[in-house]
Amino acid sequence: MADRLARILTDDGAVRGVAAVTTDLCDEARVRHGTFPTATAALGRALTASLLLATTVKRDERLSMEFTGDGPLRGMLAEATPEGTTRGFAYRPKTDVPLRGGKLDVGGALGSGVLCVMRVPLAGGSIYRSVVPLVSGEIGIDVASYLTTSEQTPSAVGVGVLVGSDGEVRAAGGYLLQGMPGADPDVLARVAARVERAPAPSDLVRTLLVPAAILAELLAGMPGRVLDERDVRFQCRCSRRRVQAAILAMGRGEIEALIAEGRPAEAVCEFCSTTYVVTEGELGALLST
């Protein structure tokens, strides 16, 4: 089943929810970056969280989330668009730390630090930037804390990645539930209690499979309507044209030096690990443009 995202609004207008299944895109990120299990879980959670949060931004914005910590992982960077695309990388992809309570210790790998959230207008303009301390390093709790403190929106966020014994991602996904302005506090308290008792996000993915079903489980007893559903995927914005533009920015002297040495220019995208090789002939063509 393709990775997918769904949004819902309860009939009483009290709660809006988003859920996503991200198993395939998280495993694609693992393969692209060669992540070890703990880094796989951390990056997968960050990618999933970015997709959930990107549903709250304007259509002409891009969301960026940077987690920085003092643990061995050091951090992750994830970007997403409202259209359902995401990309990202872990600073130290070969990070793997001992299990904690039988589970991958993402919080221990990330350590203490900060979460920086940016909303970037695609057509230019002012960038919204907010920095908050990491509460746990477990990603979901940190994103919920950001939404509550920086955007004054009571939120519940759960993200999870189940990594198999072979290192592959077996199930990944998450949810975001937010109380709407004027919502009855008792209603929000009941939702919070249900979320507290709910299975782990990766277990919800394994048993319910589709985002709309996950939301129905979390909001049981609260009828709602699905606002929209869409596919989500790992997709990078890098391209050969962008690489060539970066090479041109190096300056004529640097390019001529490469040609004189008889070697091509090589660039590796940090977001998707795609390698671009620009041959001597292409370098010469760039100088003539």
Q: What is the pLDDT of residues 228-280, one digit of tens each?
A: 999 999 999 999 999 988 888 888 888 888 888 888 888 899 999 999 999 88
Domain with CATH 3.90.1280.10 in the chain: 240-287
Cβ atoms of 210 and 21 closer than 8 Å:
yes
Number of H helices, E strands in the chain: 10, 13
pLDDT at 41 over 80: yes
pLDDT at 284: 85
Q: Outline where DSSP puts E strands in the chain.
A: 4-10, 15-21, 61-69, 75-80, 85-90, 113-121, 128-133, 155-163, 169-179, 224-231, 233-234, 265-268, 275-278
Of residues 62 and 287, more confidently modeled: 62
pLDDT of residue 259: 87
Q: Which pLDDT does position 1 carry in this prediction? A: 66
For residue 280, the model assigns a pLDDT of 86
How far is the C-alpha of 250 from the C-alpha of 36, rounded, in Å?
34
- CATH 3.55.30.10 region(s) of the chain? 4-234
pLDDT over 70 at 135, yes or no: yes
Laid out side by side, the sheet with 113-121 consists of: 128-133, 113-121, 61-69, 75-80, 85-90, 233-234
Task: State residue 208's pLDDT score.
Answer: 87
- pLDDT band, very low/low/confident/very high, at 198 (cuts 50, 70, 90): very high
Query: Tens digit of pLDDT for each residue in 83-117?
Result: 999 999 999 999 999 999 999 999 999 999 999 99
User: What is the percent of the chain with per-residue pLDDT over 90, rounded to a whole number?
Assistant: 75
Whether residue 61 has pLDDT greater than 90: yes
Query: Looking at residues 208-224, what average pLDDT do you find?
Result: 92
Q: Is 41 helix (H, G, I), strand (E, B) or coil?
A: helix
> Residue with structure tokens 């070697």?
263
CATH 3.40.50.720 at 240-287, yes or no: no
Coil, strand or helix: which one is 144?
Answer: helix
pLDDT tier for residue 59 given thresholds of 50, 70 and 90: confident
Architecture in CATH of 4-234: 3-Layer(bab) Sandwich (3.55)
Q: Give me the chain's average pLDDT, please.
A: 93
